[in-house]
Amino acid sequence: MSESQPAHTTRRRFLGAATVATAATLGAPGLVTAQAPSRPPAESPAVAPAAPDGAAVPRQGDWSRPQAMAIPKEGYFKLEQGRYGPVFPRTPANYGFTIIAKTKPGRETAIREYAKTIETAVAGQPDVLAPLRLHYLRWVLFDIDRDTYFMYQGIFDTDFDKYLEDAVALFLKTGITTVFVNLEGWPDDWKTNLPAVIKFFREHQRPSFLEYGEYPYVTADEVKKALRVKTALSTMLDQMQ
């Protein structure tokens, strides 16, 4: 047997252990269940039934099996009042919302320039948006007849109302003016009138009726932790060569 074979076998075994360790990072107790859903997905008729082969129905915390959830028109399964209105459920894609509002005339350029403001802020301070617990944001401008509309889509790990509270607090702390000042109906006194801000978002929220997660219910922190473990293990593996 050549001298390289034992080393190759060791690296292969180590890689297998690394895969298990990375997977365990996502499934560690107290992480996946850190954000409890408003209504357990396992109780929802929207959760896919058992597979034909008799496999168990995937549940919250099982990130290894993709899940989809159909959501009623109202945006929730059971009316449950939160701090500012109905509580929207956590889905396999985590929490999120879609805001659609008409832009003020002539403000399209200002909205697009604000995207550059966010890009610059994140480049200079990568964790500037960390309080929002975001997975991603998508901003879209589109026209209907002669009017321009703005669509704000976000996926995050806090509930709907806390996200809005954190967003206002973040803008006040950083001094960054929110893009929503360019939209019709946005309160002029938004910095001191949180109820008016919540009312705006509630009135312009368009609940989704289907959400899908390739790795369901996994938080952004868990994803980053797993990637850090993967990077560390890869570095150790390279040093064994």
Rounded Cα gap, residues 66 and 173, in angstroms: 38
Rounded Cα gap, residues 202 and 75, in angstroms: 11
CATH architecture observed for domain 68-218:
2-Layer Sandwich (3.30)
Tens of pLDDT, residues 209-218: 999 999 999 9
User: Domain segments of the chain: what residues?
Assistant: 4-34+221-239, 68-218
Tens of pLDDT, residues 106-116: 999 999 999 99
Q: Quickly state the pLDDT bin for 235 (edges 50, 70, 90).
A: confident
Q: Is the pLDDT of residue 94 over 90?
A: yes
pTM exceeding 0.75: no
Tens of pLDDT, residues 142-191: 999 999 999 999 999 999 889 989 998 998 888 777 999 999 999 999 98
In sequence order, which residues have a C-beta less than 8 Å from that of residue 196 and are 6 or more positions away?
A: 187, 189, 190
Q: At what angle do helices 220-239 and 4-27 cross, to 10 degrees?
A: 170
